[in-house]
Amino acid sequence: MSDMNYTDIESAWEQETANENLQDLEDLKLSRMVSYLSEVRVSLAKTKAEDQLQADLFAQEALNLEFMLNDLLLLRQDKILKAALAQSRPIGTMTLAEEEFYNRLLRGVEGHQEFVKGALTGTPPSIAKRSTRKKRKKGDTKSDVPPEEAMDYVLVRFLRPIKDTFMGLDEATYGPFKKEDIATIPTENVRAWLRDGTVTRVVTEELEAKK
């Protein structure tokens, strides 16, 4: 069973609706919300045909959950979009997908501003040089990741140990990791871990505060 329930999802949706700032939402929490919706759908599918009242209750709950989750994510999308246009980082915690969305938007806004500057000065905008992607070493916690690489790697803290080494998508070897270890790892290698609670993302400000 999911650790989330209807009231939890409703509360998260209401908080997002009531506040102008982006509210905290981590991958694990969103994963649990989606899991609860899936459980309700499964319960509806397993309800016997003669139990119409129970089927109606499950169907209405599923519809409500679908609406709240959809509205929650769209509200967050709008807030992230506004923050990128203002070239300011949202206050609340974003999921990994939202972080990537924000980074793409921010680069687009910055690129367009260069175009505007070039148009006003009568000079063509400069073509940004593509930098060679560098491989991360195991346990690397450097935060000065170039913008073009920000979507490829993510800084995480391990909530569960990883006993074996593994090869990242960058062909570098990572691990093993102990609980509370911090490392920069290719994004695609940690997506599932973010959803199941094996790791949590580390925001640069959080890392600086611990020093």
Asked if residue 68 belongs to a domain, the reply is: yes
Cα atoms in the 13 Å half-sphere on the side-chain side of 44: 15
pLDDT higher than 70, residue 211: no
Asked if residue 205 belongs to a domain, the reply is: yes
For residue 198, the domain's CATH number is: 3.40.5.50
The pTM of this model reads 0.74
pLDDT-derived band at 67, boundaries 50, 70, 90: very high
Tell me: do 78 and 17 sit in the same domain. yes
- The mean pLDDT of 153-159, rounded to a whole number, is 91
Cα 210 to chain centroid, rounded: 22
d(CA 51, CA 56): 9
Asked if residue 153 belongs to a domain, the reply is: yes
Identify which of 157, 153, 140 has the alpha carbon closest to the alpha carbon of residue 202.
157
Asked if residue 31 belongs to a domain, the reply is: yes
Residue found by looking up tokens 């979507």 in the block: 151
Q: Which tens digit of pLDDT belongs to each residue from 104-153?
A: 999 999 888 888 888 888 776 554 444 334 434 444 444 444 444 444 78
pLDDT at residue 35, as a whole number:
95
Assigned token pair, 187: 């994004």
Domain that holds residue 52: 6-96
The average confidence (pLDDT) of the chain is: 84
Percent of the chain with pLDDT over 70: 82
Tell me: do 12 and 92 sit in the same domain. yes
- The mean pLDDT of 14-29, rounded to a whole number, is 95
d(CA 25, CA 9): 11
Angle, vertex CA 4, rays to CA 206 and CA 8, nearest 5: 80
Asked if residue 67 belongs to a domain, the reply is: yes
pLDDT at residue 205, as a whole number:
55
Q: Which of 34, 64, 96 is the last residue of a domain?
A: 96
Cα atoms in the 13 Å half-sphere on the side-chain side of 107: 12
pLDDT higher than 90, residue 39: yes
Q: Which of 96, 128, 163 is the last residue of a domain?
A: 96
Length of the chain, in residues: 211
